[in-house]
A = this chain, B = another copy of it.
Amino acid sequence: MSSPETTEAPARRQTRQRTAVLALLEQQDGFRSAQDLHALLRDRGDAVGLATVYRALQALVDDGLLDVLRGDDGEASYRRCSPVHHHHLVCRSCGTTVEVADAPVERWAARVAAEHGFTDVSHQVEVFGTCAACHAAQR
């Protein structure tokens, strides 16, 4: 039964919880962990189960609406990002994130992989630092 479509559409449903998670992410400028988002939703009044927050984030990642970043402690953080391929410039202090898209680094990755006979290449490039605002306020 169901539709014999080529690629089965997951038929994503619109619920209060998923809407709340995405809405909250829309008004964040940096990466936020699932735990943080769960706490923020609770404070804001739009209580959502922790498991549901994780499921919503996973779905949004699958749909390409979010980018994921692993901290040094292994905790995952999420951010509402543009759908085009890009990397990030993240402030270690306030978390402010700037999307960076640059052809040179893409070519570099492809070239390095090709030089060593690697195929099916992907890459992970992130830059961390202290933004101007934090550097000024730093004392």
Binding site for B on A (CB under 8 A): 70, 72, 74-76, 89, 91-92, 98, 100, 102, 104-105, 108-109, 112-113, 116-132, 135
| Leading 8 A-B pairs by shortest Cβ distance | A118-B129, A117-B132, A74-B74, A121-B129, A123-B127, A120-B130, A70-B70, A124-B126
| A105 partner residues in chain B, CB cutoff 8 A | 105, 108
Q: Distance (Å) between the CB of A71 and the closest chain B CB?
A: 9
Q: Distance (Å) between the CB of A22 and the closest chain B CB?
A: 22
Task: Determine the residue in chain B with the shortest Cβ distance to A73.
Answer: B74
Are A104 and B113 in contact (CB-based, < 8 A)? no
Task: Determine the residue in chain B with the shortest Cβ distance to A75.
Answer: B74
Task: Given A100-B112, A104-B104, A108-B104, verify A130-B119 contact (CB < 8 Å).
Answer: yes
Are A125 and B123 in contact (CB-based, < 8 A)? yes
